[in-house]
Every structure is written in structure tokens, then in C-alpha cells.
Structure 1
Amino acid sequence: MGPRTPLGRPHAPRPPTATLAPARAPSHPAAPRPPRRRPRPSLPRACGWSSGPPASGRSNAPASRAGRRAATSALAAAAAPGCPRAPTRTAAAWCAAAAAAAGACAAPCPAPGAWRACARPPPLISDGSVVCAEALWDHVTMDDQELGFKAGDVIEVMDATNREWWWGRVADGEGWFPASFVRLRVNQDEPADDEAPRAGDRGAEDGGAEAQSSKDQMRTNVINEILSTERDYIKHLRDICEGYVRQCRKRADMFSEEQLRTIFGNIEDIYRCQKAFVKALEQRFNRERPHLSELGACFLEHQADFQIYSEYCNNHPNACVELSRLTKLSKYVYFFEACRLLQKMIDISLDGFLLTPVQKICKYPLQLAELLKYTHPQHRDFKDVEAALHAMKNVAQLINERKRRLENIDKIAQWQSSIEDWEGEDLLVRSSELIYSGELIRVTQPQARSQQRMFFLFDHQLIYCKKDLLRRDVLYYKGRLDMDGLEVVDLEDGKDRDLHVSIKNAFRLHCGTTGDSHLLCTRKPEQKQRWLKAFAREREQVRLDQETGFSITELQRKQAMLNASKQQVTGKPKAVGRPCYLTRQKHPALPSSRPQQQVLVLAEPRRKPSTFWHSISRLAPFRK
């Protein structure tokens, strides 16, 4: 703890010199290096999602004609093909000068409900009251003067006189932390549950009424915050669509339609849906008695519309990559900065603006949880808010699941490219996830011959391969089974009536339409049970995908196959008819969210290399 001031409050030490960026959002604007000396009280801002003007009423846009002319000139210079006459200043100096002319705040506001005054510290802190903030990001640090925390932690803010860095406490630890990583809580004073018993002379009824009044005021604060942040968010989306997308479409020589789709995704669709959502919220808002407003039903009515955020969130990493590539060219830097100034937006880069929808969809469950906390069980909106909270958690979970699935398709495409003699359509045409894999004994008809094969259970299909005779890490494609038309039948140990052979740890895959059946056996009973459970999970996965409408687009499939082909190792072939990279690498592990048997674990240990085996492997009869 730092030295004491004359008022007895702990005096925070000097701010640290560096910090690590938040791990969860690389494109979030990091807090700049703090000054060596504590500055005079100026612009302590917690993080908000708002892109509107500060509470002081001063606009973030160029207020003078000179600022407007500078922005217009920069836009013209950036839009000119080749940008022959770029400003002589560096981009950073030019942006700083433009921001100074605009009178803009340098820090973004990416969180809702934050205190936005720009002239003095938060009033509660100035009065010596305890002010709590909620962490929006993980703050990972190795500096002993900095305060580390995780997203969702509650931080006691003790000093906010520094513009970018605040001094706070979590549990027993104190230190500096970036102000942009937190938001001040809407309700700083929790309603006292024991207020009624302490009423004493006033009586229990007066105490209970006062406690309920306090809770109603808390609910009013949360509702006002929800509506305020939604209005700010709509303005933010409008600024992106009108300030950036529209200007980029005018410059066909700088941006193709494919580039615009990559950079901005479906943000225009999100803008249209959010306008309808905000309109519905306004209609359900009770202006005379805000705590009686019923917002839960509005979230339930629009929960299906929020699923369009899935496409945007999945595309956002591609947008960051494309923006990083374009901003290496000065003409794009000047063009984007001029778009920002002309639209009167705050001073952060385009990738920071494009991160807002990702943050927004993740904050709805937190806002609804806070609303439910201050909603009385007898309130007409209680059940709807409770259901809305559950629904928005499902939406966020669905978005995360779709993102994970799409990240897996590149690995699945790479695995397919490592399989020898592949036949038929690509695996990604129907499947997007590996459910289970392992070694099974396939009993063929009618000779009842046993074949040891490697089986890979994906959604909709079961792939089986044969291991190479000598190189057990090389697989040859042998066939596939359509799981949509198959029924899994558990068989008892004994003699099979169809094949007239003794079976153990077996099950049958039977097709009701064609009458075909496939007899499969495992080595141990527990392996059989794991396979039966895996088949049940596969059917459940298919059902959920149909309910949620999850599918892989043709463009995503082609891109994954193209990426897999680029990763193949080139070199001189080791054997005729076999891709050279297969003789030097093992087939890659397949992605799965569930435990599975690894292919390489089941492979036999390699023999000691010798010249005999190296020579005989070149003979044609031993290739398969």
C-alpha cells in the first residue's frame, strides 16, 4: 500500500511503465504508457461501448472548418490511385493533429454503463466512497505494481485521477490497472436485505417499503443503462455503415466486393436487426415508472435474430487479417482515418470499431443477469427476464460452438489430404466434426472374413481405412457408411445367426431401406460401450445442427481444402503411386471436443530401421 495522504486515503505509487495486452481481444485498444509523474485530475474514463459524445456535451468530431478541411483533404489524397501526394507527416502525427483539431477523447468507450465525465474523477471516488468496477478483460501482468485480474472480477477503484491508469484493489492485492479494461457498476450501493429489521421505531412495514423502493430504483438504473447502451450501439453501427462501408463502396479501385465482405462481414444485417430491436425496447419502456418496464419479452421475441452474430464473430479474425494487410499501405491508412473524421467518430482504429458487435453479444447475458437481480419474483417481467437470460446464454454458447466447429474444418481437410486413395466426395461436404475414432474388427459377408480397420465417426458418416502393411502411420481409404440411414444394434456374445460365427463385443449397423448390415467387433467390452455412446452422440449432434441451422458454406469448404493443399510437403517421391509427403509425416490428429482414441496410440510400435525393410518397401506387392 502506498503512503497516506493528509486525508488518510492511500496515495497510489507511480504508475507502471508497461503492461501486457488483454489475451481475449487482441484488437482492443491497449492503454498507452502512463506518465512518470501523477498528472492533475483529467479525463478518468472507464470503458464504455458508447461511441457518442462525452457527458460534457463536447463533440468528438472536428468542430472547426479547418478540421473538416483537413479530413476532406486527407480523404481525397487517400482515395487517389497510388496516393501520389501523401502528407509529409507520419500517420501517427497526422492522426494526432486531426484529433487535436477535432477535440476528441483519445480513449475509446467499449463498455456499457460507464461513467463518462471528462473533467474530474468519478464523484463517488472524490467523496471517499467505495466505488466498484467490473473487469471486462483479463489483465495479465508480471509487474508487481500492477493489479492482475480476470474478466468478471469486481475491483474496488481507489484512485482515478490518472486518465488511463487507475489504482484499485482485488481481494488482498492492490495496484495499477488500465481504465479501459473495466466498467463502473451501475448500482454502487447494494440494497440492504436487513434494512427492515433495523427500522426499529418506523416499524417493519416502513422498512420493507423503503427496501422495495431502493430495489425499484436499482432496477430503474439497469433499465436506463440497457436503453442508453442500445441507443449508443445503434449510433455506432450507423457510423460504421455510413462512414466506412458506404465510402469504401465508392472506391471500387481500392476495394473489391469480396474485400468488403471480408472486412465488414454482415454488419449491415446486424444494423437492420438492431434497429428493430431498439424500437421494440422503446415501445415497452415505461417512461413514467421505468421500474415497471417489461423488457424480457422483447429479448425473447428477437432471440432468433441474434444468431446472425454467429457469422460476424466467425468472420472477425479474417477481417483483422485483411485490415492488417491493407494498413501496411499508407493510402489505406489515410483513407480510413479520413472516413472516421468525416463521420465524427472517436479516435480509435477501424479494427477497434469492428470489435464492438463481438463485445455486445457477449454482454447481453451480463445485463440480463443484473436486471433479474433487481426484479422482484412477483414482478410481471420476472419470468420473461429469467427466460431471456437463459436464451441469451444459449445464443452466446451457440456462437462459441459454431466458431469452434469452423476452426476445426481446416484440420479435417488436412486429415483427408493425408489419406491415400481417397474416393467420393470430400468429407466436408456433409461433416464438420469428428465424434470418435478407434480400431474395430470388420466381419465381411458372406465369407465371414475378419478385417482390422481404423474407423472414424463423423457427423453423418463413418469412414474406415486400412493401415499400411509396413508403415502403420499411413492410411488407405476403404469406404464409408451413411449414418443417416443406419440403425445401431447391440449384439450379445455368442453365435451370430446370419454369419454362423462366434462373436464377442460386437454390434451391427443395419440399413432398413436396403437391408445391408455391417458387423463390427471390439477387443474389450469397455471399448464397445464407448462406441455405442459415440453413435448416440452423433445422432444428437445431427439433431442439434438441424435445429440451429448450422452448415458449412461452399466457400468455407473450398477455402479449407485449398489451405490443406498448401500445407502438403513437397519433395522427391519415395515410391511410385504414393504422395511423397505421406512417407515423411503422420496423418494429423483430428479435432474433437470429446475424448477419443488417438490413431497413433493404436498403431504398432515401429521396428528398428534396416536396409532390408527399406529395400523391400519399394516393391510393388508390398505397397498396400
Structure 2
Amino acid sequence: MDNQELGFKAGDVTEVMDATKEWWWGHVTDGFPASFMWLWVNRTSPGTRAGDDGAEARSSSRNQMRTVINKILSTERDYIKHLWDSCEGYIRQCHKRADMFSEGQLHTIFGNIEDIYGCHKAFVKALEQKFNTECPHLSELGTCFLEHQANFQIYSEYSNNHPNTCMELSWLTKLNQYMYFCEAGQLLQKMIDISLNGFLLTPVQKICKYPLQLAKLLKYTHHPQHRDFKGMEAALHAMKDVALINERKWRLENINKIAQWQSSIEDWEGDLRVRSSELIYSGKLIRVTQPQATSQQRMFFLFHHQLIYCKKDLLHQDVLYYKGQVDMDSLEVVDLEYWKDKDLHKNAFQLHYGTTGESYLLCARKPDQKQYWLKAFASEREQVWLNQKTGFSITELQREKAMLNASKQQAAGKPKGKQVVVPYPL
């Protein structure tokens, strides 16, 4: 953001000092665009006529509904473009290079994303037909979601396959020819500048956003006499169920991957599956041990509730040795932007336990890598909070089954010491 821009969240109240221009000015002399604001009129101000409150409330509700509906349609059109780019910019080009990609690889990488594109294209067309251009607040989007509820089950297959997608891409992207191929596909299709990992993660995240959008729309469709009120209520419950089913299947698949990863680590201690159901992020960091200020490069893996760090074998880089873990539930992440030893160890941050005073001093090699880690720590806390709010949990039986499957796979000849869990890109 620019220096004169004011960041705020939905629901925040800002005192407007000057609204005579296209840009409004708030009480901290920061500007923000008027098109993003709704005016909250002071009911006690002179000139407010008695009896206007009801009309103003209805008008405000309609305006808010119009904004939410337009936002839903806009994001759906963007998402369709995103899916189309994935199919045209990547899959179509991959089919032309049989020397680089087998059919089995393509199915592993892209799953059923082409089927998702076909179903979602029909869904967006139906949404547009339900959109009332003259009176947007009378649009019946809830009914449309209900009519297409069964089609959203197609996301389960994609979500279950996504960990395999990440594993396949993890080694392909280490080869220059595949990196150049992906970059060329982006340029030919004029796609936005995000990695293939990022493109293929979007459908996994998409299905979880619908309950939030529908809940917001239902908030403004509050009058039971609204023609879409019952449809919106039913659609919200239906999409919550769809999102929960997809989330649970995806997490159970992740538990299997975590069990496989855990069984591949040398000198492993404890059981990661007891509290963690997803790998949030991973990468190399330098751990600085006080007071000697000795530096050690380690591989760090951030899961729910836990940060695991390992040491690579000097001769066999694919072999990892367990070195320790950090409990994420009772620490504070501190960005050491102005750390006194910045010249010695740049891009530093600290994991600090307020109760015991214990801390971990970690450094990334580049500023952007540090920012990725800070975002990952924030994401981990958010995911833990969401799991608690929704009551999501993995049973002991499911954990034991995952470990049994991992043991069978290892006994079948999978070499020990190979990483099988791949971080999702941020």
C-alpha cells in the first residue's frame, strides 16, 4: 500500500473528515476510494427526517446485497478464467510433449481439473441467468447453488489427488526443462504470474469459500419474505456440508502422507499425527544458537501445532535426520526487522516462549523467504483456530490406519529417507 492509503477490514468504522472528492479522507489523514465505502449516517444529525430510518435501512441492505452479489459473480468469472488458463496454458501444451509427460503423469498432476472446468462453466452460466440486472438485490443465487449442489461433489476427487500433485511437481520443478516449459506456457496464455503449484491449489481452496460468501449474502437477505430467503438458507447449509466433506477427505489423505513422511525420517521421536493433519510450509533456515551465536542450516517443516527441524545427510541429500520440534501453541513469532546483529545474520525472526523465556533465532537467506515463513506462521494459527471452531479432528483409528498404510508401503520397497510430503505454495 501507498503511504496515503488506509487499510481496514469489513465492519470497521472510520470517521470521514472530507468526502468532497473522489477519494475520502479519514481521521488519520489516510485516503481510501469512495467506491469501496458505505456511508453510515448519524441518525441524530440535523436534517434527518423522522420516518426515514426504515427506508434508509432498506436502501442500505439492497446496496450491500448488490455489492456482495456482484462480488460473487466477479470472482466466479475470474475463477473460470483461472481454470481455462490451467487447461489451455498447461494441459493442452503438455499433451504436445509426449517426450516430457506421460498420460499417467498428467493425470497425477492435473487430476480432474478439466471436468471441474466443464461443470463450473455451466454453473457460472446458471448464476448469470439468475442475476437480476435491473434489481440485483432480487437475484436468486441461493436457488442456483441448490440446483448445482450435486455437481460440487466433483471436487472431492480433485482434493484427494492434490497431495499426489504436489509430490509429482516437487521433483519436476527441480529440472530446468520443466521450469522453462511452465514459464513458456504462462507467457503463451498470458496468465498471471503465479506458479503452477498456485494454479492447481486454487480449486482445493475454492470450495471452502462458498459458505463464507453465502453467509454474508444471507445476512442481507434477512427478510423472510425475500423470494430467495429460504433458498439462501438451504444453500448455505448445503455448501457447508460439501465443504466439510471435501475438507475431511483432503485431511485424511494428508494424514497418510504425514505418516509416510514420518516413517522416512531417521532417528524420529514422537508421533506427529497426534496433533497435526497438514503440512503448512517447509524450507531451509539457519538456526542461530545463543550465546555462542553458532549457525546451523536445518530443514524446517511447519505442521499444525508443531514445527519440525531436521538435518540433511552430507552424502545423501534425500536422507533427513530428526533434530527436534517446536510447540507452536504457546509461542510468539517476532519479526526482528531491526535486529542489532543484522549484518551478521540477515532476514531474522524469533520464536519466543513468553512463559519460559526460551527462544529460537532463525534466519532466512532472502527477504522474500522470510516473508513466506511469516505468512506461513500466521496461516498455521488461522487453520488451528478454524479447526477448533468447526470441531474438525482425526480419530485415533484413522491415525493408526494411516501409520499401518505407511509401514506397508515402506515394507513393499519404498526407500527409506525419501521425502514424500510436499509443502503447498503460499
Taking structure 2 as the reference length, the TM-score comes to: 0.54
Does the Cα contact within 8 Å between 2:259 and 2:406 map onto a contact in 1? no
Match of 1:246 in 2: 92
Does the Cα contact within 8 Å between 2:68 and 2:217 map onto a contact in 1? yes
Does the Cα contact within 8 Å between 1:270 and 1:309 map onto a contact in 2? yes
Match of 1:358 in 2: 204
Match of 2:38 in 1: 189
Amino acid at match of 1:315: N
Q: CA deviation at 1:202?
A: 2.2
> Residues 564 and 391 of structure 1: is their aligned pair in 2 closer, same or farther, counting only changes over 3 Å?
farther
State the distance in 1 between where 2:148 and 2:407 align.
33
Q: Which residue among 173, 186, 193 is the counterpart of 1:340?
A: 186
Q: Which residue among 387, 390, 404 is the counterpart of 2:251?
A: 404
Q: Which has the larger radius of gyration?
A: 1
User: Mapping of 1:554-569 within 5 angstroms?
Assistant: 561-563=408-410, 565-566=412-413
Does the Cα contact within 8 Å between 1:125 and 1:159 map onto a contact in 2? no
Q: Which residue among 282, 288, 304 is the counterpart of 2:150?
A: 304
Match of 2:334 in 1: none
State the distance in 2 between where 1:265 and 1:199 align.
62
| RMSD of aligned residue pairs (Cα, Å) | 4.0
SS at match of 1:203: coil
Amino acid at match of 2:24: D
Deviation by residue 1:219-239 (Cα, 9 ceiling, x = unmatched) = 011111111111111111011
User: Mapping of 1:198-213 within 5 angstroms?
Assistant: 202-204=49-51, 206-213=52-59
User: Mapping of 1:427-506 within 5 angstroms?
Assistant: none
State the distance in 2 between where 1:203 and 1:159 align.
33
State the distance in 2 between where 1:309 and 1:282 align.
22
Does the Cα contact within 8 Å between 2:218 and 2:232 map onto a contact in 1? yes
Amino acid at match of 2:180: Y
SS at match of 2:133: coil
> Residues 404 and 125 of structure 1: is their aligned pair in 2 closer, same or farther, counting only changes over 3 Å?
farther
User: Mapping of 1:196-595 within 5 angstroms?
Assistant: 202-204=49-51, 206-377=52-223, 378-408=225-255, 561-563=408-410, 565-566=412-413
Deviation by residue 1:12-40 (Cα, 9 ceiling, x = unmatched) = xxxxxxxxxxxxxxxxxxxxxxxxxx988
State the distance in 1 between where 2:139 and 2:39 align.
21
State the distance in 2 between where 1:319 and 1:157 align.
48
> Residues 264 and 410 of structure 1: is their aligned pair in 2 closer, same or farther, counting only changes over 3 Å?
closer
SS at match of 1:347: coil
User: Mapping of 1:596-611 within 5 angstroms?
Assistant: none
Alignment of 1:127 with 2:17, yes or no, is no
State the distance in 1 between where 2:257 and 2:76 align.
36
More helix by share: 2
Does the Cα contact within 8 Å between 1:263 and 1:323 map onto a contact in 2? yes
Deviation by residue 1:226-253 (Cα, 9 ceiling, x = unmatched) = 1111111111101110111011011111
Match of 1:464 in 2: none
Taking structure 1 as the reference length, the TM-score comes to: 0.38
> Residues 262 and 129 of structure 1: is their aligned pair in 2 closer, same or farther, counting only changes over 3 Å?
farther
State the distance in 1 between where 2:95 and 2:212 align.
36
SS at match of 1:230: helix
> Residues 157 and 344 of structure 1: is their aligned pair in 2 closer, same or farther, counting only changes over 3 Å?
farther
Q: CA deviation at 1:404?
A: 3.0
SS at match of 1:364: helix
Q: CA deviation at 1:207?
A: 2.5
Does the Cα contact within 8 Å between 2:24 and 2:31 map onto a contact in 1? no
Q: CA deviation at 1:125?
A: 11
Amino acid at match of 1:386: E
State the distance in 2 between where 1:259 and 1:285 align.
40
State the distance in 1 between where 2:124 and 2:222 align.
24
Q: CA deviation at 1:411?
A: 8.7
State the distance in 2 between where 1:45 and 1:282 align.
33
Sequence identity, in percent?
A: 60
Deviation by residue 1:246-268 (Cα, 9 ceiling, x = unmatched) = 11011111001111111111101
Does the Cα contact within 8 Å between 1:281 and 1:298 map onto a contact in 2? yes
Instruction: Give unmatched runs, 5+ long, in structure 1.
Output: 1-37, 47-122, 131-155, 161-183, 415-540, 542-551, 570-624
State the distance in 1 between where 2:219 and 2:192 align.
33
Does the Cα contact within 8 Å between 1:265 and 1:312 map onto a contact in 2? yes
Amino acid at match of 1:312: Y
SS at match of 1:128: strand
Does the Cα contact within 8 Å between 1:375 and 1:382 map onto a contact in 2? yes
State the distance in 1 between where 2:415 and 2:2 align.
57
State the distance in 1 between where 2:86 and 2:407 align.
30
SS at match of 1:127: strand
State the distance in 1 between where 2:29 and 2:69 align.
24
